[in-house]
Structure 1
Amino acid sequence: MIEKKPKILVIDDTPANLALLGLALQDDYVVQIATSGAKGLELAGEDPPALILLDIMMPNMDGYDTCRHFKADPVLQHIPVVFVTALSEMNAEILGLSLGAADFLVKPFNIDIARLRIRNLLEREQLRQELQRKEAEQRLAASVFAHSHDGIVITDAENRIINVNAAFTRISGYQLEEVVGKNPAVLKSGRQSAEFYQAMWQALANGDHWSGEIWNRNKRGEVYAALTSISVVRDDQDHIHHYIGLFSDITRLKKQQHDLERIAHFDPLTGIPNRVLLNDRIQQALAHTRRAKKLLAVCYLDLDGFKPINDQFGHETGDQLLIDVTKRIKECLRASDTLARVGGDEFVLLISDINDVSECKSVLDRILIKVAQPGVIYGHGVAVSASLGFTFYPDDFNDAETLIRHADQAMYVAKQRGKNRHHLFDPQQDRIALARGESFARIEAAFAADQFVLHFQPKVNMRQGTLLGAEALIRWQDPKRGLIAPGEFLPEIEGTELELAIGNWVLATALEQLEHWRRQGLNIKLSINVAPCHLLHADFCQLLAVKFAEHPLLQPGCLELEIVETAALQDIERVSKIMDECQRLGVHFALDDFGTGYSSLTYLKALPAQVLKIDKSFVINMLDNSDDLAIVKGIIDLSTTFRRQLIAEGVETVEHGLRLLALGCENAQGFAIARAMSGTDLLDWIRNWVPDPAWLRT
């Protein structure tokens, strides 16, 4: 690159002088000419020169006045001014120097001497400017050093402390006089290994710089985290002159980071891993198990009886109970095992390095005993137990999510079998549960798609040939499989919310059909089957009343609810009250499948049902099986003794009807009378039905 020539401004009103100076200086400098003081000030203001050659004797504004203007301007005042004059008096030189002139050139002057003086003045000015810049840099560095929020420590080539700033003292607690001449190792906390510091010094040797986090110890003995940067400063011979270390105290930031990590990975109540950290732990456990070639137990634990305690005594008691239970479980585990909380009162355990099933069961037995120990919390006596399901990897060779799901399924089996026990996952049960889940999903989709319909099977008096009513029977009108009987899908949804929803739909649809028939002149009693969970639902009677209010044309006694003995088995006293409340709405009851339970006589005495329905399994087989015939006779005698109406299901042939009539049972339904049909077809059947003549002659 071509070095830029310094610019010299020549101010002189004599053209001959200007020409002479221009010729003398043009090889080394850029020469700018001004013929008056005013013009010189103007040109300097636009682009300040490196030096000014100024004639003293000029009209209007002489050199002295021009110099005064230059020195009064903050931008121009430091430019060296050299007076060029023919005056040789001492007074003129004194005045010029007092005005700030740097030198004098007396006409006539020697050109070589003039060049040397001008060069010396420019070099001196450059040195002055460089010194001024360095002084400014030093003042800035000193200000940064003194006022920096970061701690700064300077050491010599032997790593002995030379200087520290105020922030160093604030963070470390050490004054300069306490550490000067010492090695910064005085701050070591002992948390970093020797290998850590070896790597740090290696980085400084290779690249003259290192940065990272160091845990130091302050004068009070407290450990703090320092985000540190160390630089090597070398001299002109590339030898290490000193080191500069800068650090900031990030202890609070590290604590916040640690707290955030705990929030993200640990349960805030119990302090044990949450579901997020569990996912990481189980992946590590699976990898370890594969290497160790042992067993890993994945266990799912749910507390029995926690919700009533939480509801009765409040969340504070419930939370403390969870904390206590967590401590008890941890007492049964090793440090290498994992206990995680994945729900309100649900936990997952990972027990690794197991040799056989019995070893795991021994641990789980201890956990069950520990959890079941009663305690006192906030003055309340509390006691819970645990249901535990578990599976083994790699015997159960699946991914982490599937293993947890399998343990969860096994836990539900433990609950179903009486709680306070553990159960090992059974793949066969899992396949059954999976198939049931898929079936449930299909039924749920069919209900949402309005694929269910009601068919109606007549109930008659065989001897008189009269219609008693009809039973509403649900069917699934599958677009691909056709009409599906209830026995194929209702067991799949037993005890679920979907069973309640379908039950409500059956009730609403049956009442709509009754009202429709009534408008067509048909006034009959319609029976519907009610599932146990539907009957025992808290809103059942209220819903029934609402539905009747929506159909004001219907008369009392038009609806009969058929319930099975298993409904009463759950809570016979409550079922009896529900039946009484429904009967006040004009609803009748029949005990369906009578005789199949173990306590039929108890139900017959306790429940206010008007009708008994002989289960079709007895009726169908009574012609060939003497035991079934005896049961049918017994039920008929019971109905007479307890003054109950009686109807027999499963009358599939004329012979079945004849035998029932001979035994004293006149009311029946079955294929020998009619199969279930649509509501429109039932009207046609009623108009055309004729009972078998053999029944009328009996």
Structure 2
Amino acid sequence: MVEEKVKSIISNLSNSSSTNYIEVICLSLAQAIKADYVFIAKLDKYHTEATTLSLVTQTQVLDNFTYALKSTPCEVVGTGQVCSYPKDIQQAYPDDKLLADMQVEGYVGIPLVDHDNRAHAILVALYCSPITNKQEATSLFLLFSGLINKELEKQQVLNELRTRNEIIEKSKEAILICDKDNKIISVNRAFTHITGYNFSDVRGKNPSVLSAKREHISFYQKMWADLHTKGSWTGELVNRKKNGKSFPEWLSINTIRDEDQNISHYVAFFFDISKRKAAEEKIYRQANFDLLTGVANRFYFMDKLTTTIHAKSVAQFQSALLFMDLDLFQEINDVYGHDAGDELLKKVAERLNDLLEENDLLARVSGDGFAILVNAVISEDAVNDLITRILISFSKPFYINDVMLNCTLSIGVVPFSTDEDSAGTVLKKAERAMYHAKSLGRSSYSYYTQELDNAIRYQLKMKADLAYAIKHRQLSLAFQPIVSLAENKVTKFEALVRWQHGEQWISPAEFIPLAEQFSLIKPLGEFVLSEACRQLKKLKAKGYQDIVFNVNRSVNEIPLSANENDEWLLMIDMYGLSPADICFELTESALAPDKRNSEVLFNNLRAAGATIALDDFGTGYSSLAYIRRIPLDYIKIDRSFITDMSENPDDKILVSTIIAMTKSLGKKVVAEGVETIEQVEQLQQLGCDYIQGFYYSKPIAASDIPAFIDNFSMLNVPCVSAE
């Protein structure tokens, strides 16, 4: 009897025109064992759910569904056991609602196991009346379980192949497959989209059909050597489209080997990088060249100067650096406007470029400052000849919008062959020489002298002393209160660094520029931030939880790379403080357009909870466009605008305008350098938010902050002179 049913099932499978093997075998099994339902279900990864792949009666195919395995006989089958109940299955599994809904009385289920002998699917028969042929049903299920498993494995492989083919076809990367003889045997849609070639155009051809013949033969020799020895190659090259247009591509090639480790195929992936290359070129131009004049910018110039210094031989005067500043440029700007000033800068760059040799480099290194790196200098006379030609050229007027403008140059010169100085130091030497030339009279030049060198020696000693003081934490901080006019209290303090050098206090106005010049500003800034955090943590431990410390950071501390943008926050976290406990004060130079990482850094700081204050507003790169773009919380009005506010109506109008503008942008205003009650009252009337200055307090030690807060009263402020 079983043999006949086996033959019947095999006959159905052989004669069926259906491509769905699973449905055919389920129908055949249902008919053979006279089950009311037969289904094959796939188990999920955790064996908590099963999804039917085919659900049938003896005559029709039903819709598939997913059901939970818990408290069902299928849960037992999912563990790898055969489960059968000739009758009373509902009594055995009263929580299985599906059995009741389908009026199931008898149940037969066997697991379908994978190579690890773990059930991945189940084969189940359901009866609406007691089973009379349970052994027969179980035997047939077990007999055909192997075939069903093979079919499921085949379907899985086919599904994976379809998925892979779909991925290949939908890939945005061009994919090219060659046989062992490097003949093209397959391409995807992206290949046709990028190159314009259909598969029929390139079938059986060598990929060299795409070559633009830009690379040297050694390039391809290296590529094939890597493919045969390493099994892969990746790189950039130029290929040609069907329309003849060349394009840069990023190409990766992998070798495929057979069981005997012989190469059977080559698979290449590539994509057109024309847009990326154009963007890189644009970024490169923006990063390295002045947008106004088109000549190199300071960043690029300093990089080339550094390279030149490191590459010098012992030949004297092999190179020279000229630093030039336009005489009376500010006056031209004031009289004729910034547009005329910009046009003048363009013409200055053109005139200087016309005087240079091919190997020389011209850069705009500051607002009206230009520098020339003169290479291959034979003698000092050659440098003097160039300087003479520059001064003669600039004795001739410029014509801007039909206006004749006379604009001369002052030039500082540093010849060098080998030099242990950094590029910044060499440029600074040339700049000092330029200022010396300007002091002698305009349209002149000056070489760097021994007197200037003596001044540098002093700076170098101070630099070494400052570096030692920073390393050994011999600096200290004082804290100046910042008073809230609206809240009538003090919760903010600006941290101010102090340096006692022997018996002498060195002014920050002297040692901070020194730190910036000699690349000590970052360790100095790290000391100030760490010491401020240390002191703030002690104050919070005493119960002063609402205090915020303002910490100054130099624009030169802004990381050049966004990869270092978390360093400030990590320092705060190291002391167990919140970013909201620190307000970072930066000068307006941080808003300069060439500080490309500033906006990213500030956004990161504010997103973490820190606040940003713009210090000394009105003395640097003031621009509404910059202020709107850069995320700021506070704008601090420079003390120079506050000093004469009581006596000079113009200054009062200016302060009023700054406050109104700041508030319209949704930011808070801090007035610095407040020394009199008249200034306080005027600032209150103008809507200023915070006051900082000697009127309320000089900078105080951290240990004095608790007493200052506890005893502070805006109605009883001792007026302190600003000595």
Normalising by structure 1, we get a TM-score of 0.47
Normalising by structure 2, we get a TM-score of 0.45
Tell me which structure has the larger Cα radius of gyration. Answer: 1
